[in-house]
Amino acid sequence: MVSAGIAGGTGYTAGELIWLLLQHPAVELRFVHSRSQAGKAVSSVHTDLMGETDLQFSSELSAVEVLFLCLPHGKAREFLAEQSIAPGTRIIDLSHDHRLGNSGFVYGLPELNKEAIRHSRQVANPGCFATALQLALLPLARERRLQGEVHVQAITGATGAGAGLSDTTHFSWRSNNLSVYKAFGHQHLGEIKQSLQQLDSDFAQEINFIPLRGNFARGIFASLYTEIDLSLEQAMQLYKSFYADAPFVQVTTDDISLKEVVNTNRCFLQLQKHGKKLLILSAIDNLLKGASGQAVQNMNLMLGLDESTGLQLKPIRY
């Protein structure tokens, strides 16, 4: 069994990850580190784990083969600098801290960087919006078909903002409500452009991204469109071929909806053609394909396992 540990243990992504690692056939979860809850039962915070584990949150790290960082932006880098982590430990960082530039981490989007992830010891797991939007655009970038502006609206559930309380995650505000935030300036645009330029070094188009807060708990549903000189059939062929080796991405012309992917590590992509415009709809679970599921997918690749190991999850459709 491969030993694993988690830092940032009381948050939402950690909660999902603990569950996935406890079920994983090749992993033993050795510790869940917490600044705030050390000594308490993990199931006293992640109450859905009652009866599943006797683990307690720890204040110390022990030596493990894989360390997951489920820490806020800016805190993962700090954590690595403060803790003495055995050289050779595989690290998967779910925060933003190592996603851009020459950080020494491989950008952990398996549909883009599978071989590099397999040979890496440090992986920067992508952002949740970034995952949904990149999976919708990468096939076009590889063929250098992104020649016009890209227009994007994407709506996220409240868990995307983490477990901490804030005005915009307060039930009285979020319930029966809808709002836009960070229009044209969302922090995930950097990693999206970086990946598109990895496939098409000339890519320089605007990505006009309007993020929305939805009044549901989890999931991201994105709609993207751009003008493109391809028929629907040609576009379908291009997407199917790009994702031929991607077990979690499904491409279709049938209508998709959020409930088909929530609680799974899958991404559903739907294509439509309207005149010159190609419309791409993309749906993921922000906490799974957008975070902890993708982190396990990356771990599987790093360990030489089938990337789907421990990730055969069922959506709650009704």
Ligand X SMILES: NC(=O)c1ccc[n+]([C@@H]2O[C@H](COP(=O)([O-])OP(=O)(O)OC[C@H]3O[C@@H](n4cnc5c(N)ncnc54)[C@H](OP(=O)(O)O)[C@@H]3O)[C@@H](O)[C@H]2O)c1
CA distance 25 to 312: 12
Size of the site for ligand X (CB under 6 A): 29
Retrieve residue 260's tokens.
Answer: 């088909």
| Closer CB to ligand X, 24 or 33, in the complex | 33
Q: For the chain, first and last CA: distance in Å?
A: 36
| Closer CB to ligand X, 26 or 85, in the complex | 85
Q: Is 64 in the site for ligand X (CB under 6 A)?
A: no
Write down the least CB distance from residue 311 to ligand X, Å.
Answer: 16
Other Cβ atoms within 10 Å of 304 Cβ, number: 7
Retrieve residue 210's tokens.
Answer: 């309007």
Q: Is 290 in the site for ligand X (CB under 6 A)?
A: yes
Length of the chain: 318
Residue with nearest beta carbon to ligand X: 11
Write down the least CB distance from residue 35 to ligand X, Å.
Answer: 4
Residues numbered 267 to 286 that lie near ligand X (CB under 6 A) are: 286
Beta strands 207-213; 179-180: pairing state: antiparallel
* Residue 96, burial from CB neighbour count under 10 angstroms (0-12, 13-18, 19+): buried
Hey, what amino acid is at 147?
Q
Q: Is 94 in the site for ligand X (CB under 6 A)?
A: yes
Binding residue for ligand X, selected from 118, 148, 162, 210, defined by CB under 6 A: 162
CA distance 190 to 134: 11
Beta carbons of 222 and 272 less than 8 angstroms apart: no
| Closer CB to ligand X, 68 or 203, in the complex | 68
Say which residues have a Cβ less than 8 Å from residue 172's Cβ, sequence separation at least 6.
none
| Closer CB to ligand X, 138 or 288, in the complex | 288
Q: Is 182 in the site for ligand X (CB under 6 A)?
A: no
Q: Is 190 in the site for ligand X (CB under 6 A)?
A: no
- Candidate ranges 30-38, 82-90, 185-193, 246-254; the one touching ligand X (CB under 6 A): 30-38
Question: So which residues are the catalytic ones?
Answer: 128
DSSP state of 125: P
Binding residue for ligand X, selected from 6, 20, 21, 37, defined by CB under 6 A: 37
Residues contributing to the site for ligand X (CB under 6 A) = 8-14, 34-37, 70-73, 75, 94-95, 127-128, 159-160, 162-164, 286-287, 290-291
